[in-house]
Structure 1
Amino acid sequence: MRVLIVDDDALITSALKMILEVDKIDVVGVGHDGSEAIQLFETLKPDILLMDIRMTEMTGLDAAKTILSQYPDAKILLLITFSDDEYIIQALKYGVKGYLIKQDYSSIVPALNAVSKSQTVFGTEIIAKIPGLLHTKQPDPQAKFNYEDYSLTAKEYQLIGLVADGLSNKEISVQMFLSEGTIRNYLSTILDKLNLRDRTQLAIFYLTTKNGS
């Protein structure tokens, strides 16, 4: 796995580099602002970009938007603090693969491994924040969410829930007793029905509806 690290705090980048190299992860480069992240990504083509969301010269959010507009399949994992709420939903809409609380060093390697398998990663604290950040109304206890209102079947909504839990197509196929090809077909159909782009947006959909289901 080839990882590019970008953070405007040199101590953080050094610590992250050390943590990853202990786990035999190849750190192909280190940058210190968003514009450098764009340049290094284009040059180095890393498997994953691990980047701070809040940087002084150019934010990680702006860098992620630029990179994903040019490389839609780019795998970007953002490091955030508890005060970065305003960035979270916007970056998810751009297509980042997830968030980690910057101080949670023990989760970094497992998160990178998950992202390398095309899974999305959200810390528990972040998952809890998402409905509120989307300004989702509290569900009326008398008005249950009905997946059929979205032309979804029970099996499709079950699959969406497994995607939101971060499972890969292979893991979902085992849980649902279906082939990986069938799961891919289901996902394509679901994304078309909901007019969504990717698994991350699908996870957001699930998180904003499950409390009323």
Structure 2
Amino acid sequence: MIRLLIVDDDLLVTTSLKTIVEATGEISVIGVGNSAAQAVTLYEELQPDILLMDIRMKESTGIEAATKILAKEEQAAILLLTTFSDDEYIVEALRIGVKGYLLKQDLEAIVPSIKAVKNGQSVFGRTIMDRLPHLLQTEKTTCLEELKLNEKDLSIISLIAEGLNNKEISEKLYLSEGTIRNYISNLLEKLELRDRTQLAIFYYKNIYAK
């Protein structure tokens, strides 16, 4: 059972989300909050598997709450949910290391995204993914030659950017899951990155369309 904490300043939204996710029988909502401050407090108190949180809330944003939580809990699994697809929020969410960013109107993607995050994946709605190359194209890029990335490294990074998990990557490349895990660990260390989300950002900044 996935233990989920929901935070949104709209009571109707939190009630609806709770109904939707618990209908699966695989997700249990262990707490509900209505502000960024409550998100920080409830996360520390309840230690959920995943925090599903709105971005735009009164007084403070979900980005600010996520930043505080991740400063204490680096492995915290935070999935941001919003009606806004603002470029500023998307880039900042990626930078701080959240596990996903979805639009509220994409209701069908919410439950699959929660499950994917629980399985260690990073998930971003198709609308967001389609815009990443544009959002990151002005960022400073890295010289790939200096990093000495081989063809296998580049293949794995690109598949991670597509949202594939280790099992799916292993099947694509005909390698064991253990080998894929080792490749990813080595890539994170070599590139001085924290997680799969940052590997995806690296792909769109340095490899995509080159």
TM-score normalised over the length of structure 2:
0.91
Q: 1:170, CA displacement in angstroms?
A: 2.1
- Paired residues, what number? 207
Larger displacement relative to structure 2 (69-78 or 171-180)? 171-180
Residues 93 and 101, structure 2, Cα contact 8 Å, conserved in 1: no
User: Which residue among 128, 150, 163 is the counterpart of 1:153?
Assistant: 150
Counterpart position of 1:142: none
SS at match of 1:26: strand
Counterpart position of 1:185: 182
Counterpart position of 1:76: 78
1:168 and 2:165 aligned:
yes
Counterpart position of 1:19: 20
Counterpart position of 1:199: 196
Cα distance in 2, alignment partners of residues 160 and 106 from structure 1: 27
SS at match of 2:121: coil
Cα distance in 2, alignment partners of residues 91 and 211 from structure 1: 20
Cα distance in 2, alignment partners of residues 42 and 103 from structure 1: 29
Q: 1:76, CA displacement in angstroms?
A: 0.4
TM-score normalised over the length of structure 1:
0.90
Counterpart position of 1:47: 49
Cα distance in 2, alignment partners of residues 5 and 58 from structure 1: 16
Cα distance in 1, alignment partners of residues 207 and 180 from structure 2: 21
RMSD, matched Cα: 1.9
User: Residues 95-142 of structure 1: CA distance to partner in whole angstroms, max 9, x if unpaired?
Assistant: 1001110111111001111111010101111112223223438xxxxx
Cα distance in 1, alignment partners of residues 124 and 195 from structure 2: 15
1:128 and 2:130 aligned:
yes
Cα distance in 2, alignment partners of residues 103 and 212 from structure 1: 30
SS at match of 1:152: coil
Residues 65 and 94, structure 1, Cα contact 8 Å, conserved in 2: yes
Counterpart position of 2:91: 89
User: Residues 36-66 of structure 1: CA distance to partner in whole angstroms, max 9, x if unpaired?
Assistant: 0011111111111000011112210011011
User: Residues 81-102 of structure 1: CA distance to partner in whole angstroms, max 9, x if unpaired?
Assistant: 2343211111211110011101
Residues 188 and 195, structure 2, Cα contact 8 Å, conserved in 1: yes
Long gaps (5+) in structure 2: none
Residues 151 and 193, structure 1, Cα contact 8 Å, conserved in 2: no
SS at match of 1:212: coil
Residues 147 and 153, structure 1, Cα contact 8 Å, conserved in 2: no
Counterpart position of 1:116: 118
Residues 85 and 128, structure 2, Cα contact 8 Å, conserved in 1: no
